[in-house]
Amino acid sequence: MSGLDHRLEPEVEVRRFEVINGVMGRRRWSADDRARILEESLAPGAVVSVVARRYGLTPQQLFTWRREARRRAEAEALSFVPAVVAPEPTVAKVPKPSGPKRRARRSARIELEADGVIVRICDGASPSTIAAVIRVLKGAP
């Protein structure tokens, strides 16, 4: 009798069987791998079960990843700082004083431009507000 032929009972014959050695644990995916797989599954015309099979996942696992990603995106959308769009302030012409020249005091402000949108942060804004605005513009959480 060879190693692949084994008789359990006289009427039942097993010709091939698989032996699994070692401990099978959960597969760990890096954040980059997950992002790449999610992006592929969200492409127009992509079939989730085909993408899952390609990477050795179950469709349920990929749907769970998609649901978690959607929840994270919604949570990040709620953390935006409210913005107010205001017209550019008009400057009234003030007659120059006659006497020694004095430097006009300007209010300090920060001007950030991203994708054609200009954000101006005027004097008096708290550091946490400024940091939040910069984080949102950079796309960081």
Looking at the fold, whether 74 and 117 belong to one and the same domain comes out as no
Instruction: Determine, yes or no, domain membership for 55.
Output: yes
Q: What is the identity of the amino acid at 25?
A: G
- Domain-located, residue 128: yes
In the chain, the percentage of residues whose pLDDT exceeds 90 is 26
- Residue 112 buriedness (CB in 10 A; 0-12 / 13-18 / 19+): middle
Residue 6 is assigned to a structural domain of this protein: no
Is 21 domain-assigned? no
Long-range CB pairs of 103-108, under 8 A, 24+ apart, other chains included: none
Asked if pLDDT for residue 47 goes beyond 80, the answer is: yes
Of 78, 132, 92, the C-alpha closest to 110 is 132
Structural domain includes residue 84: no
Residue 123 pLDDT exceeds 60? yes
User: In the numeric block, which tokens belong to residue 94?
Assistant: 């003030």
Considering the domain boundaries, does residue 131 fall inside one? Answer: yes
Take residue 1 and report the two structure tokens written for it: 């009798």
- Rounded Cα gap, residues 104 and 121, in angstroms: 20
In a domain, 99, yes or no: no
What value does the mean pLDDT take over residues 129-140?
Answer: 74
Number of domains in the chain: 2
Q: Is residue 96 part of a domain?
A: no
Which domain does 39 fall in, by range? 27-79
Neighbours of 27 (CB within 10 A): 9
Residues of the chain with pLDDT > 70, as a percent, come to: 61
Determine the average pLDDT of the residues in 37-57. Answer: 93
